[in-house]
Structure 1
């Protein structure tokens, strides 16, 4: 018997417009996986849709059908072998023909397919493989018309999108273009084998003191004929060294062995320990040799979502290996509209940025896709927790029997594919579909527990989220927490701050509250919140072709901001807080200052609440990334260029962070009437698991002169509680009669004689402050071939010192507040000795 052989079908394809019958219609495909927009661009038939208004010129592609074709040769087939054509992903309505015979019809982008073609490739010589991709946009509209009784309530995009199992953001979103892709979007190959390992998975039991683990390993075999001579050799390795081996004979399609491990190496989120991974392999063998070897990496850990009554309502936080973890992080959208263009290296760079930004969790949002294996592997390798939505977003989805069957297959395939990843700690049924239910007034009787009744209401999608999906997760990954939706909390309103998770959009959207009070608006777990900011000028240079369009409100810039009412909202937050500008570079910077401040106020306050009986269990900002070069809520733009907010969040999420804040005085309500007194607070937030002692200092520095206007406050030997909040000053009072000039509160924390954390609280709003003539000095103090260290001092307080972002460099810090008498350093890696970076600060 021969070993399994794989033949990639990545090259030699051609494609054409499905309606073009001319002999010269066929065009070459450089490589698959690909989607139609990539292939049209490669043939000079389409301009880059990410530049200027080219998205509009690409709209014709959205309403077309396409045909892909490849000539294949019959591979070498040992006697008794099967030939399988394997597709890892077809986007979306695909009819596959082999020598004009239909062998597969697919209508779900999120499924993989395996078709046996042994008989079809029986003849030697050439065979024609052809795939017709029907137009998803037209098919969706047809399907919607067929169900006129359904309430197609939704946010974003064409409501018809809900009838099709395709990435929903392809219909356009409030941060992305309308680009209806089609094509072989994941790998395709021929497999020849007598038998193979079709799946390998584990179930791990870890004892409460983490000293012993039992791993049950399962392997499923796919064979032409299941032979009693087959055996499976399972091996378990750690860091390249084999630590255990077990053998099982095949009595059915599934074989099982058990590994007992003393003193197991646990998988931890970064910052809490090493994200150790074991490697498990299942080798399918006969007396004649190995037929197939299947390998996966797994982690040993426990992951719980703790929901228990407390004084704030009902908790919602994550406990990993018995340790409560504040999950500061981000929401993730697909990193490109043209998904095959995202390489494993690019995925890894995104997750490396999260680690650099001290973010513990990423939420894979439900309007995109179940991500590539390399995304989750990067999260496993680097210790980033994953909150995984199922692919339903912002709508009331229909539930035809055939659609439910397709959704079930989709869920089974993806949970089987992903269940070995230790990074995945939660599956959520959807994104904001319960909010759509509330806003559209759809029926939802939480007390009715009969799933068949749900299908008869005008909110039938409840059946998907509360019956179908939890059944799949419970069957295939029973130790992974399932959450019906995001936001969701025990059937209460999605805006209820006492239970579950919430999307807090009353800053930016909704009532457009002041960002300075963000922390008062949160709930038990804040899984969405955000503030827009422009990307860096280098990114704008990419998509704005003409110099005359490089001003803040140009048509092309507005076109690249898909958020409804963005002009008013950006203007509101700018004019309330800052002195506005008309030149583009300064305007970009000002929007970034607002975003950085907004994220800081939210994260800082919510992290403090972690120490109050886990009042807030985590905060996932909207959003980490972009799918094209644009203006959005992303804190890192399409080209992986961090905005200032990235650094502001990283500081708040330090293992030990310091916070100082005066009470918010809303000038717009009091009409600039001065305060007589104001209260302030000072605290330390620690994620360490042990008690530590430190020194905390608070200074009061004039904005105008940089001099101390009040005696500094110093606390020696402060006992800092583990994994919580230590309140140092809760009732401080500033007497403005005695100290009338505007001043900052500048706090520092020392541990073992070293400054480990800072925070600076400024008088708000910034527009009332004179921030000229700061006396800032940025001085190079050392350099190597690719690294420079700069020393930063100032005579007067400086707000939001931002260094220029370049693709080939990394900054140890940016978006910094600098105060007199507190020298700071920044290390810039990748910068050559002769190179210089520009920087800017507020009022420069």
Structure 2
């Protein structure tokens, strides 16, 4: 008698990297294609279209979104003994018909899902042809909207009718480049008897022990015997026998004396490797590998004396959240790599952030994103993919939403960094306040997703992670969803309607979105805007300004803070400076409200192309002045001067695990040459770990003789001004500083020494070489102080490094001291 032994699962990739030759055919003939990839990147590579993101090419390429496209490949396959063969497509964007050897396998309607097709009776020994035919994404969205019934949405296209990345249809910071393509890996899996369908390794903590509950889903194909599931985590082992046809098993493994995973700033990030194996009599037939971190996460929204807080605690320790909203890091997401993810998340870490919010108009991110956050201790707030629109709750959309959500929760549940599931972005707020109810006329709009379906899926599949129905949200049906006293708040009156000084009129429990626009770096902007002469209202400039009345809001937002520009160089510097100041102003205010305020998540960290936007880091990866302000105001310990009843006071927020104790010199000084000290006091300040203190200042310090010619300096890093820059009397930068430059192996050092007050000093070496970068910015110096900028670059004009427009300060923008 011969015992038949199942062969291990075999994977055959059908990607370009594996040597499969793909082509794409549509309105421009047939051309080579890259899989994974997108039609726009294929057409650019074939020189059929120019760079879509350059100049005004976006509009000229709009026809792509209204064209059907067909991807085609031939490949050879030889039988390997597997009883079943399946085609696995991890990402098809979006409305696709999949055909193998002339036989239709199925149709897809969701970019955010994996699809699996049984191809056992269709796959042939030898040569095969695979065709994936995509319907035009713009036409498809419009057709589905008509079928479901049109519902309110922002922007141009009805993205809310299709399960596709919303911002791919354009946003107020992103291009309208609705694309199609096989955007994630595609392969053939050949197997027999049993395979692993999914693993949810839920890692929790019980005292000193780490408990891993591995929920393993299995698929069967004609097995003749039971199977064994074995789980290893670190040095711990556990297993279970599974009867034929049983599709679900829970295996629990315990790690004694476990090392806890913490967010950055609160502890280390130990990660334990996990292996799950399924075996039959002949040995292991399929294995799954991942990593977990053992931690607990809770969300406190229990009412208190101020309303309802929004406090996330990890391992029982409340975490003040310093973060940013994250959008897809490239308009064409298949161009992203492990290196680009690490660089961009590194921008967050270097700025002192401990949280990134994956915004609901994008994608469930690549594993590279979540693994990097696991390693670096960056918490992840994960939106479900619903943004700024009403969504139908009827079929077929509901079924797609449920399948998508189940897959996303299952996939992401392994990640230690995952701290919150959030139902939607602004949709509950939209229903309450954006005039949706009349056009909806009683039709569904998504409430059933956010309040019933999604929380039930999270409770079933990832009960260790908190859930919020939306952002903003007040955790009560009887409270406005954007109420400052409860839950999360989005502050968009600033930027859209009012001066940024209005931030101080708000006391949000948690500021989940707020921000202010500014242009990208000069080299980034001029790489895509070719107007002659370049002007804020030039035709190509406006292509790269997507916000409604964006440039008018940039101008209005200057208010009394800064003067209107005189030329394009001043426009660029003034609007970047105003962006940085506005956001820093808001965050310092929010942090001064601790513990009533429990976090700030700025809009936004990154850009997906060269554009005027709210981002701190532009589409070419250059850190804007805003980023340097974020690094200061997101420091573990923030020293700030804030008004209380119209009088400046000193506030210190110490978000570190150690007591902070210093004797701070607080001086009222003149802005002019020498910065003469008019009054000075040494103020002892002691703040406990994770604490805050407010210190009154003597009247002699906070009562100026000449408000327009004086300032308050606290230590070396905190300042207070008694008037706006439009009235403040400053020495022009060229007369206020001396500059020395030295060549280094990596570039240059530029040392600037002040002879008078120099506000918000920045160096822009990219104006001389687009690849040049600088280590610091937004530096304020009093007379006698120096700062050294470290420039990474090739050969530069050293004289230009010390003058405008490369070296800039706010002093350039105010009337000279008399």
Q: Output the TM-score relative to the length of structure 1.
A: 0.89
What is aligned with 1:391? Answer: 385
What is aligned with 2:610? Answer: 629
Alignment of 1:598-677 (within 5 A): 598-610=582-594, 614-662=595-643
The reply to whether residue 583 of structure 1 matches residue 567 of structure 2 is yes
Per-residue Cα deviation, 1:126-158 (whole angstroms, up to 9, x for no partner): 11111110112112222333345x6x2222232
Q: 1:116 to 1:735 in 2, by over 3 A?
A: closer
Aligned residues of 1:155 and 1:436 also touching (Cα < 8 A): no
Per-residue Cα deviation, 1:657-683 (whole angstroms, up to 9, x for no partner): 21123579xxxxxxxxxxxxx621112
Per-residue Cα deviation, 1:204-244 (whole angstroms, up to 9, x for no partner): 3323xx5332222233333323454532332223xxxxx22
Q: Say what the alpha-carbon RMSD is for the aligned residues.
A: 2.5
List gaps (5 residues or longer) in structure 2. 1-5, 813-818
How far did 1:689 drift? 2.5
What is aligned with 2:490? Answer: 503
The reply to whether residue 322 of structure 1 matches residue 316 of structure 2 is yes
Per-residue Cα deviation, 1:487-519 (whole angstroms, up to 9, x for no partner): 11122212311111111011111x31x223413
What is aligned with 2:464? Answer: 479
Structure 1 Cα separation of the partners of residues 739 and 324 of structure 2 = 32
What is aligned with 2:731? Answer: 772
What is aligned with 2:539? Answer: 555
What is aligned with 1:137? Answer: 138
1:222 to 219, 224, 230: 219
Alignment of 1:718-757 (within 5 A): 718-729=685-696, 732=699, 738-748=705-715
Aligned residues of 2:13 and 2:187 also touching (Cα < 8 A): yes
Per-residue Cα deviation, 1:726-760 (whole angstroms, up to 9, x for no partner): 11226756675744552121112xxxxxxxx7211
Structure 2 Cα separation of the partners of residues 684 and 137 of structure 1 = 51
The reply to whether residue 296 of structure 1 matches residue 255 of structure 2 is no
Per-residue Cα deviation, 1:587-628 (whole angstroms, up to 9, x for no partner): 211111101111111111111212xxx311111111111121
Q: 1:778 to 1:199 in 2, by over 3 A?
A: farther
Structure 1 Cα separation of the partners of residues 146 and 556 of structure 2 = 41
How far did 1:381 drift? 1.2
How far did 1:288 drift? 3.5
Which secondary structure does the structure 1 equivalent of 2:181 belong to? Answer: coil
How far did 1:36 drift? 0.9
Aligned residues of 1:799 and 1:842 also touching (Cα < 8 A): yes
Per-residue Cα deviation, 1:400-421 (whole angstroms, up to 9, x for no partner): 2221111111111111111111
Which secondary structure does the structure 1 equivalent of 2:163 belong to? Answer: coil
Aligned residues of 1:84 and 1:192 also touching (Cα < 8 A): yes
Which secondary structure does the structure 2 equivalent of 1:416 belong to? Answer: helix
Q: 1:292 to 1:146 in 2, by over 3 A?
A: closer
What is aligned with 1:58? Answer: 61
Structure 1 Cα separation of the partners of residues 169 and 691 of structure 2 = 43
Aligned residues of 2:749 and 2:789 also touching (Cα < 8 A): yes
Q: 1:362 to 1:335 in 2, by over 3 A?
A: same
1:246 to 229, 238, 262: 238
Structure 1 Cα separation of the partners of residues 408 and 700 of structure 2 = 56
Q: 1:811 to 1:226 in 2, by over 3 A?
A: farther
Alignment of 1:176-191 (within 5 A): 176-191=174-189
Q: 1:690 to 1:589 in 2, by over 3 A?
A: same
How far did 1:261 drift? 2.5
Per-residue Cα deviation, 1:435-487 (whole angstroms, up to 9, x for no partner): 2212345569xxxxxxxxxx993344111111111111111111111111111
Aligned residues of 2:762 and 2:778 also touching (Cα < 8 A): yes
Alignment of 1:649-728 (within 5 A): 649-662=630-643, 679-716=647-684, 718-728=685-695
Aligned residues of 1:795 and 1:820 also touching (Cα < 8 A): yes
Q: Output the TM-score relative to the length of structure 2.
A: 0.91
Q: 1:137 to 1:375 in 2, by over 3 A?
A: same
What is aligned with 2:229? Answer: 232
The reply to whether residue 10 of structure 1 matches residue 11 of structure 2 is no
2:508 to 523, 532, 554: 523
How far did 1:709 drift? 4.1
Per-residue Cα deviation, 1:512-545 (whole angstroms, up to 9, x for no partner): 1x22341332411111111000111110121023
Per-residue Cα deviation, 1:16-75 (whole angstroms, up to 9, x for no partner): 44578xxxx32211x211111111111221111111110111011111111111112223
Alignment of 1:400-439 (within 5 A): 400-439=394-433
Per-residue Cα deviation, 1:76-107 (whole angstroms, up to 9, x for no partner): 421x4321111011011000011111102001
1:28 to 29, 32, 35: 32
How far did 1:264 drift? 1.5
Which secondary structure does the structure 1 equivalent of 2:557 belong to? Answer: helix
